[in-house]
Chains A and B, each alone.
Chain A
Amino acid sequence: MDVLVRNWLWLLALILATVVVAGVGGMAATALLLVLAWLKARLILGGFLHLDRAPGWLPAFTVPLAIWLAVLWGLYAAG
Chain B
Amino acid sequence: MRVEDLPGELILWVLIASEILVFAAGVTAMMAVRLTDPEGFSAAQAMLDGRMAALNTVVLVTSGLCAALAERAAARGQAGKARVALLLAAIGGVVFLIVKGIEYAHDMRQGLGMESHPFFTFYYLLTGFHAAHVIAGVVLLGLVAVKARPQPVQAGAAFWHMVDLVWVLILPPIYLMG
Q: Answer yes or no: A1 CB below 8 A from chain B CBs.
A: no
For chain B, what secondary structure do more than half of its interface residues adopt (helix, strand, loop), or is it mixed? helix
Binding site for B on A (CB under 8 A): 4-5, 7-8, 11-12, 15, 18-19, 22, 25, 30, 33-34, 36-37, 40-41, 44-45, 47-51, 53-57, 60-61, 65, 68-69, 71-72, 75-76, 78-79
Bound form: Cα–Cα A48–B7 in Å:
11
CB pairs A–B below 8 angstroms (24 shown): A4-B72, A8-B61, A8-B62, A8-B64, A11-B61, A25-B178, A30-B172, A33-B172, A37-B172, A41-B165, A44-B164, A47-B68, A48-B157, A48-B161, A48-B164, A54-B6, A56-B1, A61-B17, A68-B24, A72-B31, A72-B173, A75-B34, A75-B35, A79-B31
Beyond A15-B54, A61-B20, A72-B172, 14 additional pairs, beta carbon < 8 A:
A5-B65, A11-B61, A18-B171, A30-B172, A33-B177, A37-B169, A40-B168, A41-B169, A54-B7, A57-B1, A72-B27, A72-B173, A75-B31, A79-B38
Q: Answer yes or no: B32 CB below 8 A from chain A CBs.
A: yes
Q: Answer yes or no: B176 CB below 8 A from chain A CBs.
A: yes
